[in-house]
Structure 1
Amino acid sequence: MDKTFSQQEAVELKDPLKKQSFKIMMLCWEYPPNIVGGLSRHVYGLSVHLAAIGHQVHVLTAGNGNLPSYEIISGVHVHRVSPFNQYEDDFFAWIGGLNLAIAFKAERLAEDIDFDIIHAHDWLVSSAAIVLKETLALPLLSTIHATEYGRNNGIHNEKQQFIHSQEQQLNAESDQIIVCSDYMKNVLTTIFHTSNEKIAIIPNGIDPLKAEPTAVGIYPELKEKKYIFSLGRMVKEKGFATIIEAAMMAKNENLDCFFVVAGKGPMLETYRHKVCELNLESHLTFIGYVTDEQRNALIAGSELAVIPSLYEPFGIVVLETMIMAKPTIVSNTGGMKGIVKHLHTGLLMTPGDAQSLLNQIKFLLNHPHKAEEIGNRGRQIVTSLYGWKRIAAETSRVMEDTLINFRVNVNEPIEPLIINKKV
C-alpha cells in the first residue's frame, strides 16, 4: 500500500465510513501539556480529530507528577504513567522504565477494553509497542517521525547505534508504517530496507492559528521594528547557526534586518553567547521558549519567516508560518521541499548556506507585493492539503487497511469489520 499526498492532488477526501469505529491504543512519550518537541503536537492533533470522527482513542504517555493520571481532553482518553525508574538521570534507562510502565498500564486497560489497533509514535515507545503487539495479539501501526541516521547524517557512536537499532526493530515489527513525506519514505526504504507496500505517506496536519494578543503587546522591544521570525528546537540540525552567520553578513552590509528566533533546547545558551561574542544584539535575538499564543503573535507580527533546518523530515513549523500567510523561506531538504514550491508558495534556500538565506530575504524585502502573493498562496495550500480533518480521515483508512490485512494474515474472519465487544 502506498498512499501519497501531493500538492497536485488537491481532491477533497470523503468522510470516513461512519460504521467503522476503532478502539485505538496510541503510544507516545510526550503529550500536551507535556511538550518537548513537535511530536506531542502531532499526536494531540491526530488523536483529537480521530476522536471527532467517532473513534475511541486512548493515549498512553509519560506523566510529570503534576498532571492527573487519567483525564479526557477534547474527547481523547489520556493515561499518564510514571516510569518505574522515574528519577533515573540516564535518559535511556528512563525511557526503558517508561516503556515498562506503559506496557503494564496498557495490559490493565486491555482487560476492560477490546482494543482494535496499537498506534506507536517513534522509537521512544518501541519496546512497549512490540511487547503489546504480541501479548494482546493486535496489529501494530507505527508513525516514524524522524530517524537517528538522518539527524546525524549517519551512525557515529554507541548511543546513536542503540536508537538506530530500536528504530530498525520497530520498522521490522510494525504491520504498517506511516511517514510524513516522500523524503522519509526514501529514508526508510534505503536505511531499513522497508518495503514500499508497508509505508503510507500522510503529512502532518495543522489547525488555523489565531494571533491574540499582538507581538508588541508581548515583546514591547519589537515596537516599530520589522523583524524576521524563526522557530524550532535549539539543536544543531535545525540550522540556527546559519541565521547567526546571515545576521553577521546583514550587519556588515548595513541591511535593516532583525531576526527573532524562538525555541528551547540544549544549544540555546550557546547561540546566545555567540550573538554577544559577535556583537549582533542589534540584528538578532534568541528569546527562548514561547507559548502557542506568543508564537502565533510573533508569526503574525513578522515580515517573513525562516526555517533553516539542515535535517527536517517534515517541518510542522513551516505549516504554522504559512497558514498565517507569511512568506516563508525553508531549506531545500527533507520534507520541506515537498511543501514549498519556490517563488510560488515560499522560497527555498541552500541548507547551511547563509548567503543563500540572505539572498532570499533580500528578494522578499525588495518585492513586497510578490512576498504578499507568495504568503497568500502558501496559506491556500496549507489550508487545502494539511487540515487535521483530512489527515485524520486518511489515517483512519490506513488503520482500516492495517486491521484487515492483519486479520487475513492470522486467518480471522474479516466480516463484519467491527470487532469491538466491550463498551
Structure 2
Amino acid sequence: MSENNKSVRVLMLSWEYPPIVVGGLGRHVHALATALVEAGHEVTVVTRHSPGAPLEEYAEGVRIVRAPEDLPRFPLDTQNLLAWTMAFNHTLTRAALRAAESGGYDVIHAHDWLVAHTAVTLKEHLDLPLVATIHATEAGRHQGWLPDPMNKTIHSVEYWLAAEACRVIVCSEYMRWEIDRLLDTPAARVDVVPNGVDVGVWQAPQRAVTAARSTFAGDGPLLGYAGRLVYEKGVQDLMAAVPQLRARHSGLRVVIAGDGPYRGELQRTIDEHGIGDVVRFSGFLGAGQLPALMAATDALVVPSIYEPFGMVALEGASAGAPLAVARTGGLAEIVEPGVTGVTFPAKNPEALAGSVDALLGDEPFARRVARRAKAMVSERYGWLSIAERTVDVYLRATGEAAGFAAAQTARYLEQGRPTIVVPDGNLLEPAVAR
C-alpha cells in the first residue's frame, strides 16, 4: 500500500498478457499487476484473447478481461501491423468499456503504442487520468531513423499517446532523455520507474544447472545470449567476436537462446566466420530451462545496440551469471564496470571480446561481480518496490488530472489539436556521449 494507505483501482491495457507473452512487455505487465494486487490495490488488465483462455477470469488476484478478435481478421505480421492494431483497438475498447461498467476506476494505465487508441477513448469516455508507460520508441529501435511510412506512423501514435497522458512512465534515465528528444514530453510529466525482477523465479536447482552445462558446454567456457533475434539486439557483434575468443579459449561454446526474424542473417554470419561448430541455437527456452542455462554460463553477453532498460541483465544477474553488457541505454545504468559486471561500447566486436575475456580469464573476478550483481538486483529491483513507485505515479496523476485536462482543453481551443511533422534524418543526433 502507498504511503497514504490509499487503495488504487487500476484499469490496465496491454496487447500481451499471459498466456500471450511475445517479449518483455508481457512479463512486465503480469509482474506489475500481481505485485499491485499483493500490495492491496485493485487491478483489471484488458488484453487480447488467446485461443483456449477464458474471456474473463481472476488469476493471482488480477481481473483479466480478454478481447476476442473481430472479423475480418488481419494477420499479425509486419506488413499488416497497422491494420491489425486498429482492428485490435476496436475490440479492446469494447471489452474495456464492458469491464468498466462493473466498477469504478481511479486511473487508466496504457502500455505502449499498440493500445493508444483504446487508452485515449477510455480517458475521454470515462473522464479518468491516463498514465502511459513508453517501454521503447520506434525511432530508438531504428537507431534514430524512421525509414518507412509505417515507422513514421508508429512514431506519431507514440507522440500522441505521450501528449494525451497526464503522466508518462519510462524505465531508465536514458529513456527519459529519448522521449524528451523524440516525443517532446516535458520532463515535469515524466517519471522514471525501472522494471523489476522476481529473483526467486530465476534461481535454478543445481541439478538443472549441471544438466544445462552438460547439454550446451564443451570442455571449455560457455557463453550465453538470451533474447529476440533482431538487429538492434546486436547478436551479430557477438558472432563477430567469437573467432577472437575461440583463439584465446580452447573448447569455447556459445548458446543463443531465443528466436526472431534475424536468425537467417545470423546463420550467414556464422557461416562466414566458420564458427558453426562453436555456436548453437537453442530456440526459446521454458521458464525452468532459461534460468538454468544462464546459471551455467561463464558469461552472459548482452550486446544490444538499442536497449531502453535491459531486463535480461537483471534476469541473468538473478540467476548468478557473470554479465558482459553493451554500454548503452538502460544497460549502462544497471551494470557498474568492474563491480557488477563488465561493459563494452555497442557495435564493437573487438571491445566485446576484450570484456568477455576479462571474465573468462579470471574466474574469481567473474564470480565476485556475479555475486555483487545478484545482491544489487535484490536490493533495487524487487517488484513490490516497483509497484509502490508506480502507485505514487498513479496518485500524482489523479491529483493533477483536472489541471492537466483544463490546460489541454484550453490549448486545443486556442491552437487546435497538434499536428505532428516527422522530419527526415536521424532524430537522435547528436548522440549522447556515454
TM-score of the aligned structures, taking structure 1 as reference length = 0.90
Match of 1:155 in 2: 146
Match of 2:211 in 1: 217
Match of 1:20, SS state, is coil
Is 2:108 aligned against 1:118?
Answer: yes
Determine which of 313, 326, 339 is the counterpart of 1:344: 339
Q: Which runs of 5+ in 2 are unaligned?
A: 407-434
**Residue 378 of structure 1: CA displacement?**
0.7
Is 2:195 aligned against 1:204?
Answer: yes
Match of 1:16 in 2: 2
Determine which of 353, 357, 364 is the counterpart of 2:359: 364
Partners of 2:276 and 2:57 in 1: CA distance? 44
Match of 1:140 in 2: 130
1:333-354 Cα offsets, whole Å, 9 max, x none, are: 1011011111111111110111
Match of 1:8 in 2: none
Aligned amino acid, residue 367 of structure 1:
D
C-alpha spacing 1:171/1:249, structure 2 compared with 1 (3 Å): same
1:373-411 Cα offsets, whole Å, 9 max, x none, are: 111111111110001010001101110111111145569
Partners of 1:176 and 1:102 in 2: CA distance? 22
Partners of 1:322 and 1:221 in 2: CA distance? 21
Partners of 1:301 and 1:373 in 2: CA distance? 16
Match of 1:214, SS state, is helix
Aligned residues: CA RMSD: 1.8
Determine which of 265, 272, 282 is the counterpart of 1:270: 265
Is 2:16 aligned against 1:60?
Answer: no
C-alpha spacing 1:87/1:327, structure 2 compared with 1 (3 Å): same
The 5-angstrom pairing of residues 327-342 of structure 1 reads 327-342=322-337
**Residue 257 of structure 1: CA displacement?**
2.4
Determine which of 158, 161, 166 is the counterpart of 1:170: 161
C-alpha contact 1:31 1:41 (8 A) present in aligned 2: yes
Match of 1:11 in 2: none
1:232-274 Cα offsets, whole Å, 9 max, x none, are: 1111000000111111333455644211111121112332344
C-alpha spacing 1:152/1:210, structure 2 compared with 1 (3 Å): same
C-alpha contact 2:217 2:253 (8 A) present in aligned 1: no
C-alpha contact 1:85 1:94 (8 A) present in aligned 2: no
Match of 1:391 in 2: 386
C-alpha contact 1:143 1:177 (8 A) present in aligned 2: yes
Match of 2:294, SS state, is helix
C-alpha contact 2:292 2:319 (8 A) present in aligned 1: no
Q: Equivalent pairs: percent with the same residue? A: 33
Is 2:118 aligned against 1:128?
Answer: yes
Match of 2:288 in 1: 293
Is 2:248 aligned against 1:258?
Answer: no
**Residue 282 of structure 1: CA displacement?**
2.3
C-alpha contact 2:166 2:404 (8 A) present in aligned 1: no
1:273-325 Cα offsets, whole Å, 9 max, x none, are: 44345431222112111112111110111112110000000010000011223
Aligned amino acid, residue 39 of structure 1:
L
Determine which of 72, 75, 88 is the counterpart of 1:98: 88
Is 2:103 aligned against 1:109?
Answer: no
Match of 1:70 in 2: 56
1:72-120 Cα offsets, whole Å, 9 max, x none, are: 1211111111232463122221111111111111111222211111000
Aligned amino acid, residue 144 of structure 1:
I
Partners of 1:86 and 1:72 in 2: CA distance? 29
Determine which of 25, 29, 37 is the counterpart of 1:39: 25
Partners of 1:252 and 1:19 in 2: CA distance? 59
Aligned amino acid, residue 53 of structure 1:
A
C-alpha spacing 1:85/1:18, structure 2 compared with 1 (3 Å): farther
C-alpha contact 1:51 1:75 (8 A) present in aligned 2: yes
C-alpha contact 1:216 1:223 (8 A) present in aligned 2: no
Between 159-168 and 81-90, report the one with greater CA deviation: 81-90
Partners of 1:62 and 1:273 in 2: CA distance? 36
Match of 2:176 in 1: 185
Aligned amino acid, residue 74 of structure 2:
E
The 5-angstrom pairing of residues 367-382 of structure 1 reads 367-382=362-377
Q: Size of the alignment, in residue pairs?
A: 397
Match of 1:94, SS state, is helix
C-alpha contact 2:256 2:282 (8 A) present in aligned 1: yes
Is 2:275 aligned against 1:280?
Answer: yes
Match of 1:12 in 2: none
Match of 2:240, SS state, is helix
C-alpha spacing 1:373/1:254, structure 2 compared with 1 (3 Å): closer
Is 2:37 aligned against 1:51?
Answer: yes
C-alpha contact 2:326 2:343 (8 A) present in aligned 1: yes
Aligned amino acid, residue 257 of structure 2:
A
C-alpha contact 1:83 1:100 (8 A) present in aligned 2: no
Partners of 1:191 and 1:180 in 2: CA distance? 16
Partners of 1:72 and 1:194 in 2: CA distance? 36
C-alpha contact 1:18 1:54 (8 A) present in aligned 2: no
Match of 1:299, SS state, is helix
Partners of 1:87 and 1:221 in 2: CA distance? 42
**Residue 44 of structure 1: CA displacement?**
0.7
Partners of 1:371 and 1:293 in 2: CA distance? 24
Between 218-227 and 357-366, report the one with greater CA deviation: 218-227
Aligned amino acid, residue 350 of structure 1:
P
Match of 1:4 in 2: none
C-alpha contact 2:203 2:318 (8 A) present in aligned 1: no
C-alpha contact 1:83 1:99 (8 A) present in aligned 2: no
Q: Which runs of 5+ in 1 are unaligned?
A: 1-14, 412-423
C-alpha spacing 1:338/1:85, structure 2 compared with 1 (3 Å): farther
Partners of 2:254 and 2:319 in 1: CA distance? 18
Partners of 1:301 and 1:221 in 2: CA distance? 10
